[in-house]
Amino acid sequence: MRDVAERAGLSVSTVSHVINNTRAVSDESRQRVMSAMEELDYKPNALARSLRRRKTNTLGMIVPDSANPFFAEVARAIEDTSFAQNYSIILCNSEGDLEKQQAYTNVLIENRVAGILFVAAGISTELVNDLEQRRVPLVVVDREVPGVEVDTVMTNHAQGGYLATQHLIELGHRRIACIAGNSEVSPSAERLTGYRRALEDNNLAYDERLVVKGDFQYESGYEATKHLLALEVPPSAFFACNDLMAVGCISAARELGLRVPQDISVVGFDNVRLASFTNPPLTTVAQPIFEIGALATKMLLERMLDLDAPPRFKRLDTVLHIRRSTAARADR
């Protein structure tokens, strides 16, 4: 910038003011500055600016695994929205590991990010309090943090689980398996709740043998299905708590010579891009992925403006997309 000022024959402060449009400057001076910048191909130093302003244009985003299609799509939505608002994103993959998450959080704090988005992160009460005390704005996405008041955007997972199960029941299925996630975390448990509630509402007994835990990866859906289909009385329908496990489920069924949906029905959860192109196309409960990311970013940006406003909790509804992986139960 000094160079620009010299080249333009003006003071550094004037140059700064034309760059930031922060003070009236004569047309001539403005011109001189502009051309000097052009000629020197000047790019302001955001580090110095942020240091001085005590505020960066960087956001931190912590996800368990940015290569997982669901998180990848949420991350994409967050990045898009942030870019549109002039914020950059530092990407962090926690792998759900608390230590890594803490390490990343430290890096983000040291880089004085303007805010942090925790996506599906197993965030602890202490961490939230720590961040609050440091006055770091944060938004939690896709996880409920028990006992703490933080800005949160969540999907109505219970409603989604209900929708999925109800759909299967309406198709005549009576033995409906649930390939759950790690049930300790909120979205996973809620999907299961929705499943149970739908069974109840239809006077179907909850059979715990039909519920098996997965970990949201393809493999676990595959394994769970192999296990479930080996039961004495196997289920005729599966509610997989995410699309990846649903894909694994279909894969396993096929290996056992079962046709989807003629022999068994399966419904997923998330509606990632892939879901439209599985074989058969997957019936699934859609989360409003883009909206989740966009809303989370928006909430974070608003939070930055007023750290002491009351925390907000947003729940987004799901929509059932009926495709080709579900059909009426075959008579037995």
Partner DNA sequence: GTGAAAGCGCTAACAC
Partner DNA sequence: GTGTTAGCGCTTTCAC
- Does 109 participate in binding its own copies (rule CB under 8 A)? yes
Cβ of residue 47: shortest distance to DNA, in angstroms? 7
- Comparing CA positions, the residue from 114, 110, 158 lying closest to residue 136 is 114
Cβ closest to its own copies, residue 86 vs residue 203: 86
Residue selected from 7, 254, 298, 321 as contacting its own copies according to rule CB under 8 A? 254
Q: Out of DNA, its own copies, none, which partner does residue 248 contact, by CB within 5 to 8 A per kind?
A: its own copies
Q: Where do contacts with DNA occur on this chain (CB under 7 A)?
A: 1-2, 10-14, 16-17, 19-20, 22-26, 28-29, 42, 44-45, 48-49, 51-54
Cβ closest to its own copies, residue 142 vs residue 144: 142
Cβ of residue 173: shortest distance to its own copies, in angstroms? 21
Q: Which one of 10-18, 32-40, 45-53, 114-122 is the stretch in contact with its own copies (CB under 8 A)? A: 45-53
Cβ of residue 56: shortest distance to DNA, in angstroms? 12
Cβ closest to its own copies, residue 53 vs residue 315: 53
Cβ closest to its own copies, residue 73 vs residue 151: 73
Cβ closest to DNA, residue 44 vs residue 288: 44
Cβ closest to its own copies, residue 174 vs residue 227: 227
Cβ of residue 148: shortest distance to its own copies, in angstroms? 19
Residue selected from 6, 11, 83, 231 as contacting its own copies according to rule CB under 8 A? 83
- Starting from the edge strand earliest in sequence, which strands make up the sheet with 176-180, in order? 211-213, 176-180, 237-240, 265-270, 283-286, 319-321
Q: Let me know: does 143 contact 186? Beta carbons within 8 Å.
A: yes
- Does 75 participate in binding its own copies (rule CB under 8 A)? yes
Cβ of residue 103: shortest distance to DNA, in angstroms? 18
- Does 67 participate in binding its own copies (rule CB under 8 A)? yes
